[in-house]
Amino acid sequence: MTKRIILLALLVLVSLMGCRERIEPEADDFVEYGWILYAERDFRGAYDEFTEALVLDSVYVDAHNGSGWCYTEFNNPDSARYHFEIGLALIIVDSVNVRFEMTAGLALTYHALEAYEEAIEQVGILYAERPLFEFSHDWRINYVDLIVVAASSNVALGNFSQAYTWVRRYDGSFVTNVSTLEGRADLIKKIEAIQNL
C-alpha cells in the first residue's frame, strides 16, 4: 500500500510540474537578447529583437538605442537618426550609459548624413561628459571614432583649426600649420591614419 501511495504522489507531482504557466517574454528580455545578437554581429537578428521590444513598449529607450545602432550597421542613417532622437527625447530618468551611446550614435549618423555642424555638436556634448567613451556593446567603437567625426566634420566645413584641435586631443605630439596647404594636407592624412587604426 505504501508503494502505491508513493507512486500516486509521484504521479501527482509530475503532473503538477507539467502544468506550469507559459511565461511570456517582456520588452527587456527582447532587448537583452538583442544586445547579445548585436555583440555576435547578427544585426538583423538583433534588430528583430529590438523591434519586438518596441511592439511591447514603444517608449523603451534602450530598444530605440539598439534599433538605432542596427540601422547604423545597415547603413541607413535616416532610420538610425530617428531612433536615436526618439530615444534621447524619451529619457526621463537619466540612464547615463544609454544616453552616451545614443549621443555617440547620433554623432556618427549626422556625419553620415553630412550634417556636419550637428555631428560636431553631438561629439562636443559627449566629449564634455565622457571624453574616453567606449560603446558597451562593441569594443570597436569608442572616443577615437568620435574624434575622427569631429575632426573630419570640421575639415568638411573648412574649419581646419578646429579639426586640428580635435586631432591634438587624440595625439598631442602632432604638430602642423593648418594655415598652409601643406599643413592642411598633413592634417587630413593624420585624420585618415587615426581612422584606419
The CATH number of the domain holding residue 165 is: 1.25.40.10
The secondary structure element, H or E, covering residue 8 is helix 2-17
Residue 132 carries which DSSP code? T
Q: Which mean pLDDT values do the consecutive 10-residue runs of the chain (197 residues) have?
A: 53 53 81 96 97 95 97 97 95 81 97 98 95 93 96 98 97 97 97 93
In a domain, 185, yes or no: yes
The pLDDT value given to residue 48: 97
The pLDDT value given to residue 97: 87
The vertex-86 CA angle with 29 and 134, nearest 5°, equals 65
Provide the domain count of the chain.
1
The pLDDT value given to residue 7: 47
> Concatenated DSSP letters for 64-130?
HHHHHHHHHHTT-HHHHHHHHHHHHHH-SS--HHHHHHHHHHHHHHHHHTT-HHHHHHHHHHHHHH-
In a domain, 5, yes or no: no
Within 10 angstroms of residue 83's Cβ, the number of other Cβ atoms is 25
In a domain, 17, yes or no: no
The pLDDT value given to residue 64: 97
The domain of 180 spans 26-195
